[in-house]
Amino acid sequence: DQQVKQNSPSLSVQEGRISILNCDYTNSMFDYFLWYKKYPAEGPTFLISISSIKDKNEDGRFTVFLNKSAKHLSLHIVPSQPGDSAVYFCAARNTGNQFYFGTGTSLTVIP
Amino acid sequence: DAMVIQNPRYQVTQFGKPVTLSCSQTLNHNVMYWYQQKSSQAPKLLFHYYDKDFNNEADTPDNFQSRRPNTSFCFLDIRSPGLGDAAMYLCATSRDTLAGAATDTQYFGPGTRLTVL
């Protein structure tokens, strides 16, 4: 039972344009949401997060939006750069310190 | 500086031969996690330690055990590996946050890729 879903396995975007990665979840008890970036042969690294009490968090080129009523969050990267090419995982945490991950979206930024 | 270290990076074992994967951290985080990730799938939480308290996921096979002798180290023991246990195993840590102060994330190691022959 996949509680966190990333329905797009891959995404290609032109350099300089906006990348939008989407994530849906099913458990309304999740209180914290995160995005991780993963390069080949490395573990996931934290990118940006958002608490369930907020609807937007911004950090430089990265913005995460949370729509609790739709149980949906998205990551916006603007402008996209070739170095952003990686696999992006969405994750959600419940109050029991358990994290649930999506299957990832492979982003390719084309120079 | 490496903060979450996993050894070895690549492990080959034989069907049914016990294997231990290790994880160490320099962050002094009180929570440590083990995930299994198979190709094109989401990392799947196997269990986590909250300090010394062990928390097993309901669907984690009995074949998988864990030990945490101290804050810095955590081990994943696979008692009788099967072909289906071949995967990337990720260790992660986090600092516990009290309810209402959810600001901390997880820090991952590079993973150990397990091959079962």
Per-residue model confidence as pLDDT tens digits over B21-63: 999 999 999 899 999 999 888 999 999 998 899 989 888 999 9
B-chain CB neighbours of A49 within 8 Å are 103, 105
Q: What is the mean pLDDT of residues B6-10?
A: 93
Per-residue pLDDT, A42: 85
Per-residue pLDDT, B98: 55
Contact in structure between B102 and A32 (CB atoms under 8 Å): yes
Per-residue model confidence as pLDDT tens digits over B83-92: 999 999 999 9
CA gap B32, A96 in Å, rounded: 13
Per-residue pLDDT, A22: 98
Reported confidence tier of residue B1, pLDDT bands at 50, 70, 90: low
Task: Give the gap in angstroms from C-alpha B111 to the nearest C-alpha of chain A.
Answer: 6
In the chain, the amino acid numbered A4 is V
Phi, psi of A82, deg, nearest 5: -55, -35
Element containing residue A76 per DSSP (H, E): strand A72-77
Note whether A32 contacts B106, CB cutoff 8 Å. Answer: no
- Contacts of residue B19, Cβ cutoff 8 Å, sequence gap at least 6: B11, B13, B77, B78, B81, B114
Is the CB of residue A102 less than 8 Å away from at least one CB of chain B?
A: yes
Contact in structure between B77 and B22 (CB atoms under 8 Å): no
Per-residue pLDDT, B45: 92
Two tokens, residue B78: 């696979």
Is the CB of residue A62 less than 8 Å away from at least one CB of chain B?
A: no
Is the CB of residue A39 less than 8 Å away from at least one CB of chain B?
A: no
Averaged pLDDT in 10-residue chunks for chain A of 111 residues: 90 97 94 92 90 94 96 97 96 85 96 94
What dihedral do alpha carbons B54, B55, B61, B65 form, nearest 10°?
-20
Per-residue pLDDT, B89: 97
Per-residue pLDDT, A78: 97
Note whether A97 contacts B43, CB cutoff 8 Å. Answer: no
Per-residue pLDDT, B102: 44
Task: Give the gap in angstroms from C-alpha A20 to the nearest C-alpha of chain B.
Answer: 19
Selected residues 6-35 of chain A with any CB under 8 Å from a CB in chain B = 9, 31-32, 34
B-chain CB neighbours of A89 within 8 Å are 42-43
Reported confidence tier of residue B101, pLDDT bands at 50, 70, 90: very low
Q: How many other C-beta atoms can be found within 10 angstroms of the C-beta atom of residue A8? A: 14
Note whether B96 contacts A97, CB cutoff 8 Å. Answer: yes
Task: Give the gap in angstroms from C-alpha B82 to the nearest C-alpha of chain A.
Answer: 23
Backbone dihedral region for residue A29 (phi beyond 0: left; psi -120 to 50: alpha; all else: beta) = alpha
Res B116 pLDDT > 70: yes
In the chain, the amino acid numbered A69 is S
